[in-house]
């Protein structure tokens, strides 16, 4: 029923529209406008007949579908436009009311033209009657309605600079040195706010980087982090200045200069920030690598640092050039034309790069290893993108191009699991076989009980008769991580051997020479004229076995070595206890002097003793138990 009623109403409206179309006075533009205004005013109160009369004043022939709905909407919009523009119907009396309306034949009658150029309201003559044109109905009325609606909301400014200038005091609108006062004030505020933003960005980024590193269980130097984040703060400050300068409405020349400067600073700051950020990340990786057992990461981190920096520099140059307006494609074309020369010039660099990849992939050595490469001996200090640095034992630094590592013979002494020690001991010829056999077995026992010697393979034997001594070969291995520890353990074993020789009554020989001078005349007394220079040795026991019947020489040597080590441990323990007792006594004396009795005062002598006790560097129990024993137990 509702649809039927709506359809019936539309039919009645159409019939009334055609009925009033002929009864209206549309013979001139003025009469058409008056008829429209009167009908539109009545139509706004819901009069359908008045709405049909107002629609008859419009040329709706160009609307193919929904003509009635569009016509109603255009009637209301046109009435609103005429009301907002302040159109006065009385002004129509001043225009000629002739049938042509005072308009040349074939020309439209312009009722209203928007000052902003949005459109115009015009009437045309159709079949002897004046109506609002098809252009007005389909284009001008919608555009003018929207423009007037936006203008009614308030003034609209083309840019932020126009809004700032409109709201600035009249005094600040005066011009001084190319710019107005309010623009100079704006520039000063931008500088101050940019500096504040710089500090704020550094603080925020430092906290963010520290949080990220903590979550990854890495640590970095805070001051290095702040310095490395400085470029990013400059980048934020430059972007803020650039946005602010666009709000100030600077003249084109000044704005172009500022644009070039800000673009350059932004590009350089971005590249510089990425370059410094590599230092922060690699610093954190180095600290993490220092805590790990493997040395591969110690070798890899410097190489990653340099490779990343090279990539950033190359990319940064291209980025800065592109930001400054240079033709990057032209540069690449130039490189293509000179590609052969560039390839010839860069072949050594490419070789060095592949040499560094060989070091990373093949891992012939690690940082800290003692190596011998083409006659260069020292410790690996750093493996870079182009070269490897070796610290010699003279503390000089030798740089070897990585290209040589592709063909060089690398003797990595740092990769040894055991460090060999081979030496020959010489004892005097007055040693007995029993003493020699006991001495050799005692050295073997020292090697067995030494904490860092190899236990499954060592040799200690009498190997020959030398020119001035009986020679004993000592051939053993030390399990130590570096050369310094090897020297410490070697010293410990040598001192133990010397003490063992002293306990067994043996003396080490040194080269001697005996010269005999013969006189032709027979000697009348003692051998005059014979000068003998012999080796001075201390008296030693013959080791004839008195009191040791039934005990072999090897057992006596082993027992002597065990007794030597036991005495040494006992002596170290006693020294440690004495030092602990002295330390406790010093602490008690210091406590007594610090809290005197009520009736007495500390004397000058007590104060002097207290200062002496406090200034003495007493070793801790751990230092006594580990340091002395670890250095060979010199006792």
Tens-digit pLDDT profile for residues 289-328 = 767 666 666 667 777 777 788 788 877 777 777 766 666 6
CATH code for the domain of 480 = 3.30.70.100
Same domain for 569 and 453: yes
Same domain for 382 and 431: no
Structural domain harbouring 485 = 426-545+553-578
pLDDT of 494: 94
Contact 324, 267 (CB under 8 A): yes
pLDDT surpassing 50 at residue 138: yes
CA distances from 417 to 16, 376, 414, 459, 630 (A): 113, 22, 8, 18, 20
Three-state DSSP at 113 gives strand
**pLDDT higher for 363 or 525?**
363
CA distances from 99 to 27, 31, 95, 510, 598 (A): 6, 10, 12, 147, 132
Same domain for 229 and 125: no
CATH code for the domain of 356 = 2.30.30.60
Contact 275, 313 (CB under 8 A): yes
CA 568, CA 442: separation in Å to the nearest integer?
15
pLDDT of 344: 60
Confidence of residue 243 (pLDDT cuts 50, 70, 90): confident
Calculate ∠ Cα 283-287-292, nearest 5°.
140
CA 562, CA 568: separation in Å to the nearest integer?
10
Calculate ∠ Cα 303-304-307, nearest 5°.
85
Calculate ∠ Cα 259-265-269, nearest 5°.
145
Contact 207, 256 (CB under 8 A): no
Backbone φ/ψ region at 283: left (φ over 0), alpha (ψ -120 to 50), beta? alpha
- Strand residues in 171-266 grouped as ranges (E): 175-176, 179-180
Same domain for 446 and 402: no
- Neighbouring CB atoms inside 10 A of 17's CB total 20
Beta partners for 380? 390
CA 408, CA 398: separation in Å to the nearest integer?
15
Residues belonging to the chain? 635
Contact 51, 39 (CB under 8 A): yes
Q: Domain end: 267, 291, 315, which one?
A: 291
- Neighbouring CB atoms inside 10 A of 218's CB total 16
> Is the residue at 272 inside a domain?
yes
pLDDT surpassing 80 at residue 355: no
pLDDT of 10: 52
Choice among 86-95, 202-211, 297-306, 417-426 with the minimum mean pLDDT: 86-95
The H or E element that residue 21 is part of is helix 2-23
Rg (CA), the chain: 53
Q: In angstroms, how far is CA 360 from the centroid of its own chain?
A: 22
- Its pTM stands at 0.38
Same domain for 503 and 458: yes
For residue 152, the 8-state DSSP code is H
Contact 632, 571 (CB under 8 A): no
Q: Domain end: 153, 170, 203, which one?
A: 153
> Is the residue at 635 inside a domain?
no
- Neighbouring CB atoms inside 10 A of 550's CB total 6
């Amino acid at each position: 029923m509702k649809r039927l009623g709506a359809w019936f109403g539309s039919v009645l409206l159409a019939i009334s529209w055609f009925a009033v179309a002929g009864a209206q006075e549309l013979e001139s533009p003025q009469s058409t406008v008056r008829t429209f205004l009167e009908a539109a005013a009545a139509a706004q109160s819901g009069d359908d007949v008045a709405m049909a009369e107002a629609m008859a004043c419009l040329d709706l022939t160009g609307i193919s579908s929904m003509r009635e709905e569009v016509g109603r909407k255009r009637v209301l919009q046109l009435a609103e436009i005429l009301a907002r523009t302040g159109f006065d119907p009385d002004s129509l009396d001043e225009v000629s009311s002739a049938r042509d309306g005072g308009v040349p034949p074939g020309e439209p009658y312009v009722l209203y033209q928007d000052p902003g150029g949005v459109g115009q309201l015009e009437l045309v003559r159709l079949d002897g009657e004046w109506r609002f044109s098809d252009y007005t109905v389909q284009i001008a009325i919608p555009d003018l309605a929207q423009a007037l609606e936006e203008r009614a909301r308030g003034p609209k400014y083309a840019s932020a600079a126009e809004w700032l200038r409109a709201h600035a005091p009249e005094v600040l609108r005066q011009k001084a040195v190319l710019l107005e006062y309010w623009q100079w004030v704006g520039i000063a505020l931008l500088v101050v706010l940019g500096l504040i933003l710089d500090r704020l960005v550094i603080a925020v980024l430092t906290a963010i980087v520290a949080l990220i590193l903590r979550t990854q269980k890495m640590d970095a130097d805070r001051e290095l982090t702040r310095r490395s984040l400085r470029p990013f703060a400059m980048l934020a400050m430059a972007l803020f200045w650039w946005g602010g300068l666009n709000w100030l409405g600077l003249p084109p020349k000044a704005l172009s200069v500022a644009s070039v400067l800000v673009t350059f600073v932004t590009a350089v700051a971005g590249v510089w920030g990425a370059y410094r950020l590599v230092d922060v990340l690699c610093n954190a990786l180095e600290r993490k690598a220092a805590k790990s057992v493997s040395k591969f990461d110690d070798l890899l981190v410097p190489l990653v640092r340099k490779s990343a920096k090279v990539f950033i520099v190359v990319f940064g140059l291209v980025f800065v050039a592109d930001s400054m307006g240079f033709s990057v494609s032209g540069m690449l074309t130039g490189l293509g034309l000179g590609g052969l020369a560039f390839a010839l010039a860069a072949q050594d660099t490419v070789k060095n790069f592949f040499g560094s990849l060989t070091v990373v992939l093949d891992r012939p050595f690690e940082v800290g290893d003692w190596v011998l490469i083409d006659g260069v001996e020292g410790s690996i200090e750093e493996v870079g993108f182009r070269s490897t640095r070796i610290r010699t034992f003279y503390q000089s630094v030798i740089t070897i191009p990585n290209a040589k590592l592709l063909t060089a013979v690398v003797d990595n002494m740092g990769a040894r699991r055991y460090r060999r020690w081979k030496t020959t001991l010489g004892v005097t010829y007055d040693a007995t076989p029993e003493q020699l056999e006991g001495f050799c077995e005692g050295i073997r026992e020292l090697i067995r009980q030494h904490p860092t010697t190899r236990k499954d393979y060592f040799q200690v034997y009498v190997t020959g008769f030398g020119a001035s001594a009986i020679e004993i070969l000592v051939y053993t291995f030390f399990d130590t991580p570096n050369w310094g520890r090897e020297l410490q353990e070697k010293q410990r074993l040598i001192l133990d051997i010397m003490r063992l020789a002293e306990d067994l009554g043996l003396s080490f020989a040194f080269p001697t020479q005996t010269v005999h001078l013969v006189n032709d005349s027979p000697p009348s007394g003692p051998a005059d004229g014979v000068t003998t220079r012999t080796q001075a040795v201390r008296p030693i026991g013959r080791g004839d076995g008195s009191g040791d019947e039934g005990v072999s020489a090897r057992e006596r040597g082993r027992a002597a070595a065990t007794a030597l080590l036991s005495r040494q441990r006992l002596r170290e323990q006693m020294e440690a206890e004495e030092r602990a007792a002295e330390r406790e006594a010093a602490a008690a004396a210091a406590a007594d002097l610090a809290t005197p009795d009520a009736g007495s005062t500390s004397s000058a002598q007590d104060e002097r003793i207290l200062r002496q006790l406090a200034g003495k560097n007493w070793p801790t129990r751990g230092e006594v138990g580990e340091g002395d024993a670890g250095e060979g137990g010199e006792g």
